């Protein structure tokens, strides 16, 4: 079975570090903001919050500086929206039909605009993933800038902007984390080959047939066959 | 020795045309520039309200200087106060009413700052 | 969950109060933030820690429901009096607190509250037996209008006087007291210089056509450099952290306290002809530390003097020189409750002082800004030492603006009398202005204590920019008190 390299090692490392840092930051932030623990615990959690924020900032910058080709490819992918990408939204890539089409109750929904089967051909990331990518990049910027400004010099921002940065920091993180937790994680688990390619202790490959089915335009335009000697 | 075929992405320099590269860089620079400009603007303007209030204070100085007095000893109600009550600066009566003295708050050692 | 929406904190500027339509024509900046206040708790004057019995403790407090632990207050506090780590509710360590209110006006969430005496003052205004006197600070008149929707710096003098009189106050402008302060402190400075730099044991100065004689012996205990003493936060800072500096502090009271003592003696007996014990003095200040200063137990010299000189019965209970203090925000609240608009009309250009205490000089009014006390002192000291007026009344080189520390040398050509006394033609007055205690004070004070200070006179204002940016001023959401660069970027304001 021929394999396609979907996520090289550098991307996978950065993804895992991002993932861990993100959730640690989210949990420490939520507990502190919503007063879900004692003062001493909150103090310790906020210290953790700052350390992990430093790691996240560092790894993001390192990703761009050390492997700029991967960073640029990723940016190009999420910024490049064509007709097929827009068309994906017409029925959410066929996911509603895929999940619920086999149930009897679906016949009540089948005439709704998002209920149809089928999906236009997608590139490496489908439209939903592109949106996620944009959200994550935007939120990393917003959270990073607001977070570090508030940590290093809240006394120089002015009260209005300090309070505004704080509110953005809290609510952007909550909204994006909800998006990630409710959409990205379930869908990634459902698409098991993709999950495995990211987390397997080996190569970040997916089967060629799987790639041809899900990401035909990627296979067609951007891949090249190589021969690996074992 | 066995051979295995697999697929990898073409190099980035092939996939990304110069035009696309410049578009991405352009968006990045625009975002960075606008953000940095706005942020440094916010920081640089942080004391503006203080300066405006100070300017108001100096404006009062200009108004009063011409209509009442520019300096304290030229305020004609001050010599009247001394004539009728205070006698002279540092007199016994002003020492009692207008002067004071201070004591340390911690008698043995001061608090560290 | 903590509410952090600063929009909940805004005032609707002139609802319910008469206005003459000018407000709607003004370009409105962002309206000021509402600051919550609380009444004096029953044990506020019980003393303990670094507070003596009788003086107010806990004038500033942090509301735990609104505090998110952002650390902004910690970063601006000049005396490191705020405890609490990042993310945890902060609290003020009262034993270290100097009551300056910088934390309050810099909190992005409006989480810090101030003790307020508006109710007491209102009840005294309603008391027909009381003569209520308003002691109005210079910085109030450039910021009061902000509480009513106007841009910062809007000068409100004539209009504010009218509004205060309508409310039932008599006026004792703190600027008149500032003129008194300059006379007392300027003379004290010249005396210290005469004693320490020229070895004189007595001095004769001609002021207002009469010769005043001064015995300088007791200046042995008052070394140079002389530090100003009008900022009560600075005074408490010295008492707590640099008690060895105390002999350097001017012995003069602040203008507020001079005003209180004068109002209840000279004012009552000679100007207003009312019974001194019925005079109720209210400081109207841009400052929360002034609330503390008025409550200091030793500040009852009017009562002592009046008793000693038989003007009040021996058994009159003790009363302070200044009975209560309202911040600029408190005054706005008082006007709102009385439905008086202090910003009606547009006639600030011509001043018509009607009573003694409404007269003040240009030097006095600039007390409200950093470098102002210094400039006022120089204007008078120059005239005394040179025997003539300076070429320009503006001594721009001592103005603080948003510079942390200002150093200057003012060459004063000496009059013939002083040339004979000192043997010099010109006296180079070396001065320093400390614009905000935080980050700026330590080197200056340590030099003075060690005896290696190059200065003769040093002005210290606790609040960056001066009293115009004091803890009692309207809270402008678009700025902060931080005048220093943000390292590593040299972003200066």
Contacts of C79 in chain B (CB under 8 A): 113
pLDDT tens digits for range C322-360 = 999 999 999 999 999 999 999 987 778 899 899 999 999
Structural domains of chain A, ranges and CATH numbers in brackets: 2-80+123-228 (1.20.950.20)
To the nearest whole Å, the CA of A29 is away from the closest chain B CA by 24
Beta-carbon contacts of residue C167 (< 8 Å; ≥ 6 apart): C125, C334, C335, C338, C340
pLDDT tens digits for range A21-52 = 999 999 999 999 999 999 999 999 999 999 99
Q: List the single best residue of A6, A69, A205 to mutate versus B (max B Cβ within 10 A).
A: A69
Q: How many Cβ atoms sit within 10 Å of the Cβ of residue B87? A: 14
Beta-carbon contacts of residue C204 (< 8 Å; ≥ 6 apart): C211, C212, C213, C214, C417
Segment A12-18 shows an average pLDDT of 94
pLDDT of residue B111: 52
What is the residue-level pLDDT of chain B in tens, covering all 113 positions? 567 788 888 888 888 888 888 988 998 899 999 999 999 999 999 999 999 999 999 999 999 999 999 999 999 999 999 999 999 999 999 999 999 999 888 643 455 54
Residue C379 three-state SS: helix
Q: Radius of gyration of chain B from Cα atoms? A: 36
With contact defined as 3+ CB pairs under 8 Å, the chains touching B are: A, C
Segment A71-82 shows an average pLDDT of 90
Residue C285 three-state SS: strand
Q: Report CB contact under 8 Å: A34, C1.
A: yes
- Is C463 one of the catalytic residues? no
Q: Report CB contact under 8 Å: A159, C86.
A: no
- The Cβ-side half-sphere exposure at C189, using a 13 Å CA radius, reads 29
CATH fold for the domain made of C32-115: Alpha-Beta Plaits (3.30.70)
To the nearest whole Å, the CA of A21 is away from the closest chain C CA by 18
Segment C242-249 shows an average pLDDT of 95
Q: Radius of gyration of chain A from Cα atoms? A: 21
Domain boundaries, chain C: 32-115, 183-249+361-469
In the A/B pair of chains, how many CB contacts fall below 8 A?
85
The burial of C230, by beta-carbon neighbours within 10 Å (0-12 exposed, 13-18 middle, 19 or more buried), is given as: buried
More confident residue, C9 or A167: A167
Where does C183-249+361-469 sit in CATH, by number?
Answer: 3.40.950.10
pLDDT tens digits for range A188-197 = 998 899 999 9
CB C329 within 8 A of CB C344: no
Residue C445 pLDDT > 60, yes or no?
yes
User: CA-nearest residue of chain A to B40?
Assistant: A157
């Amino acid at each position: 079975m021929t394999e396609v390299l979907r996520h090289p090692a550098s991307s996978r490392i950065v993804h895992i570090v991002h993932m861990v840092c993100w959730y640690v930051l989210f949990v420490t932030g939520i507990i502190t903001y919503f007063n879900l623990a004692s003062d001493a615990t909150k103090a310790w959690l906020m210290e953790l919050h700052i350390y992990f924020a430093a790691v996240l900032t560092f790894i993001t910058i390192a990703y761009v500086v050390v492997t700029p080709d991967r960073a640029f490819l990723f940016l190009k992918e999420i910024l490049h929206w064509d007709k097929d990408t827009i068309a994906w939204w017409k029925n959410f890539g066929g996911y509603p039909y895929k999940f619920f089409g086999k149930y009897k109750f679906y016949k009540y929904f089948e005439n709704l605009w998002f209920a149809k089967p089928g999906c236009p051909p997608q590139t490496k990331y489908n439209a939903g993933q592109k949106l996620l990518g944009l959200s994550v990049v935007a939120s990393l910027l917003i959270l990073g800038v607001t977070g570090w400004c508030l940590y290093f010099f809240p006394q120089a921002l002015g009260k209005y902007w300090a309070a505004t940065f704080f509110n953005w920091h809290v609510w952007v993180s909550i909204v994006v984390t909800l998006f990630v937790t409710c959409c990205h994680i379930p869908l990634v688990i459902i698409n098991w080959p993709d999950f495995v390619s990211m987390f397997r202790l080996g190569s970040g490959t997916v089967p060629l047939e799987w790639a041809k089915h899900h990401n035909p335009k990627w296979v067609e335009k951007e891949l090249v066959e190589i021969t690996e000697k074992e | 020795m066995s051979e295995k075929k697999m697929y990898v992405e073409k190099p980035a320099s092939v996939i990304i045309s110069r035009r696309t590269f410049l578009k991405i860089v352009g968006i990045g620079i625009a975002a960075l520039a606008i953000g940095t400009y706005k942020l440094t603007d916010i920081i640089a303007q942080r004391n503006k309200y203080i300066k405006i209030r100070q300017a108001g204070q100096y404006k009062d100085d200009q108004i009063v200087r011409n209509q009442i007095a520019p300096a304290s000893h030229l305020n004609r109600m001050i010599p009247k106060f001394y004539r009728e009550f205070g006698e002279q600066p540092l007199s016994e009566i002003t020492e009692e009413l207008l002067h004071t003295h201070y004591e340390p708050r911690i008698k043995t050692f001061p608090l560290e700052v | 969950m903590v509410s952090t929406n600063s929009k909940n904190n805004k005032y609707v500027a002139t609802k319910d109060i008469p206005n003459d339509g000018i407000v709607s024509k003004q370009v409105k900046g962002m309206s000021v933030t509402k600051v919550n206040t609380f009444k004096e708790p029953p044990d506020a004057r019980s003393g303990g820690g670094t507070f003596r019995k009788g003086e107010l403790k806990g004038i500033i407090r942090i509301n735990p429901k609104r505090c998110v632990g952002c650390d902004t207050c910690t970063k601006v506090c000049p005396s490191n009096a705020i405890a609490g780590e990042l993310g945890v509710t902060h609290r003020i360590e009262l034993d270290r607190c100097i009551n300056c209110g910088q934390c309050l006006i810099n909190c992005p969430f409006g989480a810090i509250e101030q003790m307020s005496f508006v109710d007491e003052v209102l009840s005294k205004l309603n008391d027909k037996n009381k003569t209520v006197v308003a002691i109005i600070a210079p910085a109030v008149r450039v910021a009061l209008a902000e509480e009513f929707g106007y841009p910062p710096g809007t000068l409100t003098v004539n209009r504010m006087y009218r509004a205060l009189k309508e409310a039932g106050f008599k006026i004792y402008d703190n600027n008149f007291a500032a003129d008194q302060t300059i006379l007392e402190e300027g003379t004290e400075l010249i005396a210290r210089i005469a004693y320490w730099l020229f070895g004189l044991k007595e001095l004769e100065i001609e002021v207002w056509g009469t010769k005043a004689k001064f015995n300088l012996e007791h200046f042995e205990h008052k070394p140079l450099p002389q530090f100003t003493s009008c900022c009560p936060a600075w005074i408490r800072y010295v008492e707590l952290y640099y008690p060895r500096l105390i002999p350097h502090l001017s012995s003069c009271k602040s203008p507020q306290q001079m005003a209180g003592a004068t109002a209840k003696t000279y004012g009552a007996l000679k100007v207003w002809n009312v019974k001194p014990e019925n005079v109720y003095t209210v400081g109207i200040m841009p400052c929360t530390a002034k609330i503390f200063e008025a409550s200091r137990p030793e500040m009852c010299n009017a009562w002592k003097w009046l008793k000693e000189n038989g003007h009040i019965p021996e058994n009159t209970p003790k009363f302070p020189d200044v009975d209560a203090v309202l911040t600029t925000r408190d005054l706005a609240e008082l006007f709102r409750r009385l439905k008086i608009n202090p910003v009606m009309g547009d006639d600030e250009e011509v001043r018509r002082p009607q009573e003694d205490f409404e007269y003040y000089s240009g030097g006095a009014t600039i007390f409200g800004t950093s470098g102002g006390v210094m400039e006022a002192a120089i204007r008078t000291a120059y005239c005394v030492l040179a025997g003539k007026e300076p070429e320009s009344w503006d001594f721009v080189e001592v103005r603080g603006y948003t510079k942390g520390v200002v150093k200057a040398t003012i060459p004063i050509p000496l009059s013939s009398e002083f040339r004979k006394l000192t043997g010099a033609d010109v006296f180079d007055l070396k001065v320093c202005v400390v614009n905000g205690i935080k980050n700026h004070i330590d080197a200056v004070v340590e030099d003075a204590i060690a005896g290696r200070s190059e200065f003769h006179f040093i002005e210290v204002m606790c609040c960056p920019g001066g009293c115009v940016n004091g803890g009692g001023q309207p809270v402008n959401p678009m700025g902060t008190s931080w005048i220093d660069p943000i390292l590593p970027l040299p972003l200066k304001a």
